[in-house]
Amino acid sequence: MTATEPRPIPAAGTSHASPGAPQRSARQVVADYVSLTKPRIIELLLVTTFPVMFLAERGVPSLWLILATLIGGSLSAGSANTLNCYLDRDIDRLMHRTEGRPLVTGAITPRAALTFGLVLGVASVLWLGLLVNWLSAMLSLGAIALYVGFYTMLLKRRTSQNIVWGGVAGCMPVLIGWSAVTNSLSWAAVVLFLVVFFWTPPHYWPLSMRFRDDYAAAGVPMLPVVAERQQVARQVVLYAWATVLTSLALIPVGGMGWVYTVVAVVSGGVFLLESHRLQRAAGHPEGAGMRPMRLFHFSISYLTLVFLGVAIDPLWHLPLG
Question: At 261, which CATH number?
Answer: 1.20.120.1780
Number of structural domains (the chain) is 2
Collect all residues with Cβ–Cβ distance below 8 Å to 14 and sequence separation of at least 6: 106, 109
pTM score of the predicted model = 0.90
Strands (E), 40-106: none
**pLDDT of residue 12 exceeding 50:** no
Strands (E), 117-228: none
Asked if the structure places residue 22 within a domain, the reply is no
Asked if the structure places residue 77 within a domain, the reply is yes
Q: Are residues 157 and 204 in the same domain?
A: no
Q: Are residues 286 and 297 in the same domain?
A: yes
Strands (E), the chain: none
Q: Are residues 296 and 266 in the same domain?
A: yes
Asked if the structure places residue 238 within a domain, the reply is yes
Q: How confident is the model at residue 306 (pLDDT cuts 50, 70, 90)?
A: very high
Q: Which of 152, 184, 216 finishes a domain? A: 184
Structural domain of residue 298, as residue ranges? 186-321
Q: Are residues 255 and 211 in the same domain?
A: yes
Q: Which of 184, 202, 220 finishes a domain? A: 184
Query: What kind and span of H or E run contains 202?
Result: helix 187-210
Give the single-character DSSP code of 287.
G
Q: Are residues 171 and 266 in the same domain?
A: no
Q: Which of 130, 151, 184 finishes a domain? A: 184
pLDDT in tens, 247-297: 999 999 999 999 999 999 999 999 999 999 999 999 887 766 679 999 999
Asked if the structure places residue 16 within a domain, the reply is no
d(CA 188, CA 231): 32
Q: Are residues 55 and 171 in the same domain?
A: yes
Q: Are residues 117 and 194 in the same domain?
A: no
Q: Is the dihedral of CA 282, 285, 287, 290 positive or negative?
A: negative
Asked if the structure places residue 83 within a domain, the reply is yes
Q: Are residues 176 and 300 in the same domain?
A: no
**pLDDT of residue 22 exceeding 80:** no
Asked if the structure places residue 12 within a domain, the reply is no
Q: Are residues 152 and 216 in the same domain?
A: no
pLDDT of residue 101: 95
CATH number at residue 119: 1.10.357.140
Q: Are residues 221 and 161 in the same domain?
A: no
pLDDT of residue 2: 37
CB 279 within 8 A of CB 240: no
Asked if the structure places residue 23 within a domain, the reply is no
Q: Are residues 177 and 40 in the same domain?
A: yes
pLDDT of residue 84: 97
Asked if the structure places residue 227 within a domain, the reply is yes
CB 137 within 8 A of CB 125: yes
pLDDT in tens, 104-156: 999 999 999 999 999 999 999 999 999 999 999 999 999 999 999 999 999 99
CB 98 within 8 A of CB 74: no
pLDDT of residue 18: 37
